[in-house]
Amino acid sequence: MDSYGDLIAADDVLLFVNAAITSTGQREFHSDAGEQRLSLDFLHAYMLGNYRDLYAGVLALDINDHNAALIIRRLLETTGDATADQRRSEGRLIASRLATLPPQRVYGLFDALRRAGVNNRRTRAIIRDWLSARPDLAFDAVKYRSGLKRALRHAHLSPATEELGTFLFVPLTRKHYATPLLETWRRAHYEQAALYELPYTAAEGFAAKHGIPRNVFLERIAPRMTRLETLRLQDSAHKIGTTGIQADLARMPLTRLATYVLSLPVQDRLHRRAELTHALESAAGRVAGSHRGSWGKVTAVLDDSFSSFGSVHKRHRPLAVSLACHYLLGALADNYTGLWTSGRTDALLTYPYGPTPVGRRILDALDTTPSRLVIVSDGWDNAPPGLAAEVLRIWRTRLDPERHTSIVHLNPVYDAADFDVRRLSAAVPTAGIRDAEDLPALVELAQFAEGRTGLAELITYMDTRAARMNSGHHQERAR
């Protein structure tokens, strides 16, 4: 039997995990960026102060990159408070998490550490190890030049080669570089043809410098773009008459793809229905992997009310998560029904509109007698308010006390005022969600949120996740 303290600790950790999954300190539909950041800061300070081990352990879960960077930063800032054992385990967690973070975030993090004056031995070692593990430092030097430069300077490291040092600190003093990429960069200053061999972001500056027309530039740089750059630019490229940029949608990660679909006007989605549906389905199939078709009869209630618009900073994010979940659940289940709160039935044409009658829609969902009910909503229920809670409560206590139907509520929005994601009902577990890809893991995590398992199980769970991450078997991070 867990003591009160353990129960509270388990609760606090889950609360923090929910926040760390959903909040990015940006503006949301119901709260602005300032409230989000303040609320998140408090949670980080609270966790670090009370449960340092668990706080570090959260790095192994599917929290978002923003919070991962914040946790690493706070751990490094407070190195002095940690015991030798803690430092060892934290060090492993930090190193494995840094390896999965996008490089621009890591350079940003190093820069934040520099500005905060955090320069202890552990920090320097971590920067050193991360840099030595980079596959191609010359590429980093071209693409993230100032980031790399400041990281080296801050950690008192000498560049791997003398040439790299010259490139970073006095780049144009050399007549020739032996490294091909660095040489290309030097030539790009004088020669237009050379810039097309650089990474897109670096080339863009040179294109402006040489006054190359945008459509010519985009046409020729297309092969050098990353997946996401292609996806981001293809529509604006089409508008200026460049057809060379063609994103391979079928290879895009699921939630990213859903965001892209929602960014298209409804007319375009109608024209490209076959292509988009195929892309979404194959992305969902990849995520489902070996679990495909193993979830039985699943019904989902998906929120497409006006508030699922998110905010101008996270445009359509909540709706994109719903849409991605729709396709993912379709792949996971062998019999799937998706119900949108607005009552519309064509998932591909969805857009944020109208109120949130979640209660009514849950009733419709329960009518299909599912074995699993998944609700994706921001927790606001206003037509009428509180109805979803009542329906769920009565279902749990009166109509299905043996729990034949498992119900889980996934919430993509952090509620700054409550320090947690908003719950629909106490009778149903709620977990934060950021990427639909994490859905299977979150449904696993949600059982803890129901309060039926205690701290011991939670710690075991986090340890296995940490072990999995440290051994390098973490899931492919499809961001």
Partner 1 sequence: MTTLDLTGLATRPSQVWGAVRLVPLVRDEPVNDLRLHPQLYDDAVGLVEVDPRHAYVSYIPHGFVATWTGDGTPAAAYGTQLSADGNSPPRATMSLRFHRRMARRQAKDRLRFLPMHLALEGYLALHFGGPSLAWEEWSQRAIRQGLSPRVEEAYVGAEVRGLADALRVFEIHPNQCGVMVYVADALAAAFAVPHPDDYRALHPTLLQDLYGELIHHYATLMAPVQDFRARIADTHIRSLAHLRTAVAEQERAWGHFHDTTMAGGLLDHAYTWQSVYQMGGFTLSRFLPEFRPKQDSHIGEAITDGRGRIAYLKTFRLSESQVRRGHLLSRLAANDWHIADTAADLGIHEAQLGLRLESAGFGFLLRQDVLDRYRKQKRTRSR
Residues forming contacts to partner 1 in the complex (CB under 8 A) are 29-30, 305-307, 342, 353-356, 359-360, 363, 366-367, 382-387, 389-391, 393-395, 397-399
The least distance separating partner 1 from the CB of residue 448, rounded to whole angstroms, comes to 27
The 8-class DSSP code of residue 399 comes to: I
From the list 196, 191, 158, 165, the residue with the least C-alpha distance to 179 is: 165
Q: Are 299 and 272 within 8 A, CB to CB?
A: no
If the CB atoms of residues 234 and 307 are measured against partner 1, the closer one turns out to be 307
Per-residue CA distances from 193 to 217, 230, 397 (Å): 10, 21, 71
Nearer residue to partner 1 within complex by CB, 219 or 390 = 390
Other residues' Cβ atoms within 10 Å of the Cβ of residue 120: 14
Of the pair 16, 29, the CB lying nearest partner 1 is at 29
Minimum CB separation from partner 1 for residue 243, in Å? Answer: 30
CB of 32 to partner 1, least distance (A): 10
Amino acid at 111: D
∠ CA(442), CA(448), CA(450), 5° rounding?
A: 105
Q: Using an 8 Å Cβ cutoff, are 309 and 350 in contact?
A: no
Shortest separation between residue 15's beta carbon and partner 1, angstroms: 23
Is residue 352 a contact partner of residue 303, using CB atoms and an 8 Å limit?
no
Residue nearer to partner 1 on the CB measure, 398 or 452: 398
Separation CA 63–CA 374 (nearest Å)? 20
Alpha helices in 402-451 (DSSP H): 439-449
Are 399 and 378 a contacting pair, CB within 8 Å?
no
- Of 308 and 406, the one with the shorter C-beta distance to partner 1 is 308
- Dig out the tokens for 17 from the structure: 């995990």
Dihedrals φ, ψ of 338, to 5°? -115, 125
Nearer to partner 1, 323 or 389 (CB): 389
Residue closer to partner 1 by CB (options 64, 356) is 356
Dist. CA 221–CA 216, nearest whole Å? 9
Query: DSSP class of residue 223?
Result: G
Report in angstroms how near the CB of residue 387 gets to partner 1 at its nearest.
Answer: 4
Q: Please, which residue, 44 or 372, has the CB nearer to partner 1? A: 372
Q: Please, which residues have CB within 8 angstroms of residue 67's CB and are 6 or more apart in sequence?
A: 19, 20, 21, 23, 24, 40, 44
User: CA-CA distance, 354 to 338, in Å (whole number)?
Assistant: 18
Interstrand relation of 406-411 and 297-302 (parallel, antiparallel or unpaired): unpaired
CA–CA separation, 39 and 25 (whole Å): 9
Q: Residue 88 or residue 404: which is nearer to partner 1 going by CB?
A: 404
Residue where the block lists tokens 């992997």 = 289
Q: Least distance in Å: CB of 175 to partner 1? A: 57
CA nearest 134: which of 154, 114, 159? Answer: 159
**CA-based R_g, the chain, Å:** 24
Q: How far is the CB of 358 from partner 1 (least distance, A)?
A: 11
**Of 159 and 357, which CB lies nearer to partner 1 in the complex structure?**
357
Nearer to partner 1 among residue 223 and residue 386 (C-beta): 386
How far apart are CB 380 and partner 1 at their closest, in Å? 8
Q: How far is the CB of 114 from partner 1 (least distance, A)?
A: 38
Shortest Cβ 309–partner 1 spacing (Å): 10
Strands 372-376 and 297-302: parallel
Q: Are 381 and 359 in contact (CB under 8 A)?
A: yes
Write down the least CB distance from residue 356 to partner 1, Å: 6
